[in-house]
Amino acid sequence: MPWTLRTEFAFDSAHVITGYDGPCGRLHGHTYRVQMALTSGRLRPSAHIQRNIMVADFKSLKWAKKDVTQGGLDHAFLNEHPDLRDDTTAEVIAAYLHRETLRRVRECLEPGDAGEDLRLKVTLWETPDSSCEYWE
Ligand SMILES: Nc1nc2c(c(=O)[nH]1)N=C([C@H](O)[C@H](O)COP(=O)(O)OP(=O)(O)OP(=O)(O)O)CN2
Ligand SMILES: [Zn+2]
């Protein structure tokens, strides 16, 4: 694929891995770091520009850094999130970020463009030395 768009951001959230026999089973928080890598075989317009000059708008990959009251994951209690609930591992959060980001990117495509060439890899760091990658 000719283009890979990469962007990184962070969000701060609290969580409990429900049922975990150890410290992660108690309420605690992380500054999660995320890298989104979106590969594409062609360039497209975005919500802000009509010419075919973007893989996707960087803004569309960074929705999760918004406050939880604005639809993101910042300053959230992740266990209250309807897509996460008890299972707030890095694996489950990374899969959710992947699913929701691709849904949002596809929602912005022009009629007739299914975005079959788009491939997304999400890397989520829960701590500076522990991360999870999710891609299809
Ligand atoms: N496969 C997974 N294992 C663990 C996860 C996870 O999401 N997936 N999460 C946790 C806890 O949330 C914990 O807060 C993070 O674990 P860890 O990297 O061990 O963090 P520490 O900084 O506390 O590590 P130490 O090196 O032990 O100090 C646990 N496991
Ligand atoms: Zn944790």
How deeply is 13 buried, as exposed, middle or buried, from its count of CB atoms within 10 A (0-12, 13-18, 19+)?
A: buried
**1, pLDDT greater than 90:** no
Residue type, 83: D
Integer Cα distance of 92 and 84 in angstroms: 7
Question: Is pTM, for the whole model, over 0.80?
Answer: yes
pLDDT score for 133 = 98
Share of the chain above pLDDT 90, in %: 99
> Which 3 state secondary structure label does DSSP give 28?
strand
Q: Which whole number is the average pLDDT over 68-73? A: 97
84 CB less than 6 Å from ligand 1? no
User: Mean pLDDT throughout 14-18?
Assistant: 97
Residue 126 Cα to ligand 2 midpoint, Å, equals 7
Best probe residue, ligand 1, of 122, 130, 132, 133 (max atoms within 8 Å of C-beta): 130
Summarize pLDDT for 74-117 with one digit per residue, the tens.
Answer: 999 999 999 999 999 999 999 999 999 999 999 999 999 999 99
Report how far ligand 2's centroid is from the alpha carbon of 8 (Å): 20
| Residue whose CA is at the smallest distance from ligand 1 atom 4 | 89
Atom of ligand 1 nearest to the CA of 93: 7
Is 136 a residue whose pLDDT tops 90? Answer: no
Q: How far is CA 94 from CA 2, 26, 107, 131, in A?
A: 25, 21, 20, 9
Ligand 1 atom 19 nearest Cα = 130
Any ligand 1 atom below 6 A from CB of 32 = no
What pLDDT band is residue 33 in, cutting at 50, 70 and 90? very high
> Which residues are in the CB-under-5-Å shell of ion ligand 2?
24
Determine the pLDDT at residue 107.
Answer: 94
Walk me through the domains of the chain, giving residue ranges and CATH numbers: 3-135 (3.30.479.10)
pLDDT attached to residue 82: 96
Q: Is the CB of 31 under 6 A from ligand 1?
A: no
pLDDT tens column, 38-69:
999 999 999 999 999 999 999 999 999 999 99
Task: Output b/e per residue, 74-85; b: 16+ Cβ within 10 A.
Answer: bebebbebeebe
Cα distance between residue 20 and residue 18, in whole Å: 6
Query: Between the CA of residue 4 and those of 1, 12, 36, 90, 93, what are the distances in Å?
Result: 8, 26, 10, 23, 22
What does the pLDDT read at residue 31? 98
